[in-house]
Amino acid sequence: MRRLPLLSAAKLLAATFAAGGLVACAMAASDGFSFGDGTPPGGKGDAEPTGAGTSPVGGDVDGVIVVHASRNLPAFRVCFGNKPKLNPLPDSKLMPQSNVVGVEVGGAVHVGALHDRADDVADGGGPKVDSGPALDAAVADSGTVKPDASASSSQLYVFREESLRFRSQLCGDLLKDAALKPGTDYWALDFTAPGLFTSRGVYLLAVEGCVAGSDPSLNADNCGQPFTAGQQNLRARVVSLSAPQNQVGAFYAQTLVLSDPVRAAVRKGQIAGMYFGDLSSDAMERFDGQNKVALDAVQPASPQKFAFPAKQESYDKFGFRGVVGTAKVEQSMARTQELTSPQILPNDFYRLPSNFVVLVLGDPAASAKDPALGLHFLAIPVRDPDSLVADAGGD
């Protein structure tokens, strides 16, 4: 596939003018699993207290980030059971490493807020709850379509991007299309996300697990639990993100593990951790000021401040290090930006007025030649970079 074209110089200049301090995101439920290296709290990697320096998510921090965290699911777009009048999402964002719309393997895309989509706005301007006919009951066990579905929001439909490439149907029409087959063209996942459709805020929606396949390498370690050979175990995880106050000249970041192989390794007793700093040094800062990173929650609970020299060469010299048992993966800031948002230059990307969440994706045992499947990191700005560039261009 062709590489996504770079932004024009005007847009890059606008993004630079929009730049400010960077802040970090917080929060989500944890299942109690964690990983750490035994370093006592209080080291230089600890998070700085935020207290009065924080503010609730505001109007400029609002949206949904969709993440591909599955080992063998192809690139996809999603539909929601109570949103039949929406286009499958993303509906316009190109995959970072290609020229088609969707969420690529090991990638993430901002798709905008769902609580204020045009088809869900009441005449008085307020949001409706579960408006319109739902899709959940539209597909019977046999895969046939029921003409009259009852309203519900308990299903997420994950469509193969390639199956939608030459279609322009809304979500409701896609599920009535007999040419699209469940288990081949799309998968229905149980899904609950209080507030996603009714409340302001930033939400991360990750699709994890595996589709059914004959690959003998698929197992509970790389597909997650529960796992049965020959059956799909795809699942949707929703994490709520919040943003502290910006601070000019600072880089605030947190981390979130979305890798089933990393979780499995830790559950088996392997030591793991995430670090940031000079990649040539052993004295890098940990991401977990509380001495552990929960496997199913954004950590640390308070935003962590990192520093790096304000020089162009810093983006190649500084970066992220992930350690899982004896495996170690290092990724420069420049490479992380390229994987996350290649249309923005590193100097502009890391100066966006946004908090970041660094996602841990992939398998430490996978070939390093396949960055989508191998252990890799994405630095996701909670504020959509495209909206920041658009806002700056309109001033």
pLDDT at position 177, please? 95
State the DSSP code for 2.
P
pLDDT at position 318, please? 95
d(CA 173, CA 164): 12
d(CA 292, CA 46): 11
Helix (H/G/I), strand (E/B), else coil: 388: helix
Residue bearing tokens 């190649």? 316
pLDDT, averaged in runs of 10, over the chain (395 residues): 38 35 32 33 31 37 91 95 91 79 93 73 34 38 33 78 94 94 94 80 93 90 92 92 62 90 90 91 79 70 81 93 90 94 88 88 81 89 75 48
pTM here is: 0.77
pLDDT at position 169, please? 94
Contacts of 268 (CB under 8 A, 6+ apart): none
Check if the beta carbon of residue 368 is closer than 8 Å to that of residue 330.
Answer: no
Give me the residue spans of the domains in the chain. Answer: 1-55+246-395, 57-241
Contacts of 298 (CB under 8 A, 6+ apart): 25, 26, 27, 28, 239, 241, 254, 255, 256, 357
Check if the beta carbon of residue 203 is closer than 8 Å to that of residue 241.
Answer: yes
| Pairing, β 355-361 against β 251-257 | parallel
- In sequence order, the β-bridge partners of residue 376 are 361
Token digits of residue 67: 């993440």
